[in-house]
Structure 1
């Protein structure tokens, strides 16, 4: 995949938004519901797929994950390093790559992307994030972190977050069509100027 300057800037922007989204309550501690911090990562992850496509969206999530694994404090709680991936929340970080790709692919396969396509793509993305992330959390806790928990219990822990992320998913699906045309118009102009 040959990347243009415009593409690289979009990938970098969404990788940066993921880092900000992971730690938004550090700068705005009031953004909590019943003590649960409002991470914006699923929102930005799915938005990446919707707006910049499956390949660039997934690439931006890979860049974000690699920066964090390398030790930069871009994960939740300003953490970083390979230990985070091995930990109970590592599956969510990995799920962002899949979710961004699938959300982007659904929009790309629509001949004329409209609100229904963006809703379908957004909810497919959020389902993937939670299925992969929660299953990984259950496995991590039970098999290598030696914390006994049922699979249903793992889903119970995530229920607070699901409600919040479902609301953000609806918001993303509503605003994405308005931004989509501008992003793709900019991409066409960027490719023309580079030619």
Structure 2
């Protein structure tokens, strides 16, 4: 029987991942050495994947939904401390939307069988969802409502995404390792996991 209501502990854990994702979006303000070649390394996708594999599909997706809503309401929790409803029109907003979906899918993959290969599959699948939704949103934005470079094409937009891809793959695998180790360590003995397993 599925649990229909979240406990205070569930909501606390969800809030923790909202905060971690906000920190991850602006980690370079805390650790400026994470700007490599002028490209900031953000950890939003890392924490979105981790939210799914740690919190589960429903709570993980909900935490990312709350993160998105808070940012749209004006809280400066998106990358470069941005916030507000105007972000919806930004070419990169699709990546934020993808956090909700990838957290849900990643959580679903590991919920039935918490083995290390499942964590790797969940994390890489989450990254693929992030890239597919985010990149297609970006292309649509440039085609429909945002000023696009003159030589822009679908291939060019995907070419841009090849630059951060190696570090994102590394971070996705790191999320799998962290999530699996948490599960086999403190998380498996925690009240959070016991109450969810009993539900």
TM, length-normalised to structure 1: 0.92
1:32-59, Cα deviation, whole Å (9 max, x unpaired): 2221100001100000101110001000
The 3 A distance-change label for structure 1 pair 139 and 188 is: closer
Map of 1:105 onto structure 2: 108
Counterparts of 1:3-152 in structure 2 under 5 Å? 3-110=6-113, 113-148=114-149, 149-152=152-155
Map of 1:174 onto structure 2: 177
Alignment partners' CA distance in 2, 1:179 and 1:7: 16
Say if 1:51 and 1:180, in contact at 8 Å, map to a contact too: yes
Aligned length: 190
The 3 A distance-change label for structure 1 pair 188 and 123 is: closer
The 3 A distance-change label for structure 1 pair 69 and 188 is: same
Structure 1 gaps of 5+ residues are: none
Of residues 98-107 and 28-37 in structure 1, the stretch that sits farther from structure 2 once superposed is 28-37
Alignment partners' CA distance in 1, 2:193 and 2:93: 36
Alignment partners' CA distance in 2, 1:170 and 1:190: 28
Structure 2 gaps of 5+ residues are: none
Alignment partners' CA distance in 2, 1:68 and 1:22: 11
TM, length-normalised to structure 2: 0.90
